[in-house]
Amino acid sequence: MSVFTTFPQLSDGFLRDLKKVIDDGFRSFTRSYGDVIEGFFSPLQTLLIWFERLLLNTPWPVILLIVAGLAWGASRSWRIVIGSVVTLVLIGMFGMWTDTMKTVSMILAATLLSIAIGLPLGVLMARSPRTQAILNPVLDVMQTMPSFVYLIPVVMLLGIGRVPGLIAVVIYALPPMIRLTNLGIRQVDREVLEATDAFGSSSWQKLIKAQLPLALPTIMAGINQTIMMALAMVVIASMIGVQGLGQPVLRAISNQYFTLGLFNGFAIVGIAILFDRISQAWGKRLQKHREASHD
């Protein structure tokens, strides 16, 4: 038999001991600092509860009007407005309104956190090649790691519930926000930057008055991708207690309830299309505004 038919491996005993050391070390860390970490993330619980109560306590006609207003403000298209309203009406008529609002509250919280974290990191990457060199491999790992894997360390640190689910969703949805913010700022016309330098603008003024406004369409594309990835991860996060449309889907898989899974699956698709169309329309509108002002 050729020596190349089997790959040389570490001994089973060494691998077993190595895995045991890592697992025991992580468990010891969670026992020692779990309460501290849980307290640190407690504001996220408050944020989630606030969003959830806001959406659940708001009468459905008001939510329909708000969504219609956002759709019209973004697209100026009656087709998108009617499609958005009809989608929500059908979701409510099929008895999925409460679960949908819980899912939307999670997406809103995750998107806000992703913007709050991703925007500064994207700016930092655009300004510092060293930071970009450090963050790029991290972002590659975050984007290629199977989404289920994120649940393991989060659950071991914080247990089962909405906050661990939110953290997992943010980790999964964050990379597009960082990458596209970085890309948008790097694509700003050098002539514009030279003009701001000629007027004696500081680095902060250049960022606020030139780079971010001109990069806004690309940043909006990052927000769009973040929303889509957050929605995909919310369904997976239902495995660790995140309430919303994901739990009925998980229950349907476990108990082979075809219609339950199908209806909730269509609701998830409807919400995804709604978010996608409105956020894309805002991005295109900002792009047109940018081109008009540039001309």
Annotate 224-238 with three-state secondary structure: HHHHHHHHHHHHHHH
pLDDT band at 61 (very low <50, low <70, confident <90, very high): very high
The pTM score is 0.83
Average pLDDT over residues 168-183: 90
Looking at residue 295, its pLDDT comes to 55
Looking at residue 268, its pLDDT comes to 87
Backbone φ and ψ for 196, nearest 5 degrees, come out as -65, -35
Across 97-111, 188-202, 274-288, which has the greatest mean pLDDT?
A: 97-111
Looking at residue 1, its pLDDT comes to 47
Return all residues near 279 (Cβ < 8 A) that are at least 6 apart. Answer: 74, 220, 223, 224, 227
For the chain, the average pLDDT equals 83
Average pLDDT over residues 1-21: 68
Q: What is the pLDDT of residues 194-248, one digit of tens each?
A: 787 777 777 788 888 888 888 888 888 888 899 888 888 877 888 777 788 888 8
Average pLDDT over residues 5-24: 73
Selected residue with higher pLDDT from 55 and 204: 55
- How far is residue 169's CA from residue 143's CA, in Å, rounded to a whole number? 12
Q: Contact at 8 Å (CB) between 83 and 100? A: no
Looking at residue 209, its pLDDT comes to 80
Amino acid at 31: R
Q: Which of 235, 232, 227, 242 is nearest to 155 (CA)?
A: 242
How far CA 278 is from CA of 114, 153, 221, in Å, comes to 18, 34, 11
CA atoms within a 13 Å half-sphere pointing along the CA-CB vector of 131:
12
Determine whether 280 is exposed, middle or buried from the number of CB atoms within 10 Å of its CB (0-12, 13-18, 19+): middle
Average pLDDT over residues 268-285: 84
> What is the 3-state composition of the chain as percent helix, strand, coil, each rounded to the nearest 5?
85, 0, 15
Looking at residue 7, its pLDDT comes to 62
Q: Tokens for 268?
A: 């998830």
The DSSP result for 36-98, as a single string, is HHHHHTHHHHHHHHHHHHHHHHS-HHHHHHHHHHHHHHHH--HHHHHHHHHHHHHHHHTT-HH
Across 17-31, 177-191, 249-263, which has the greatest mean pLDDT?
A: 177-191
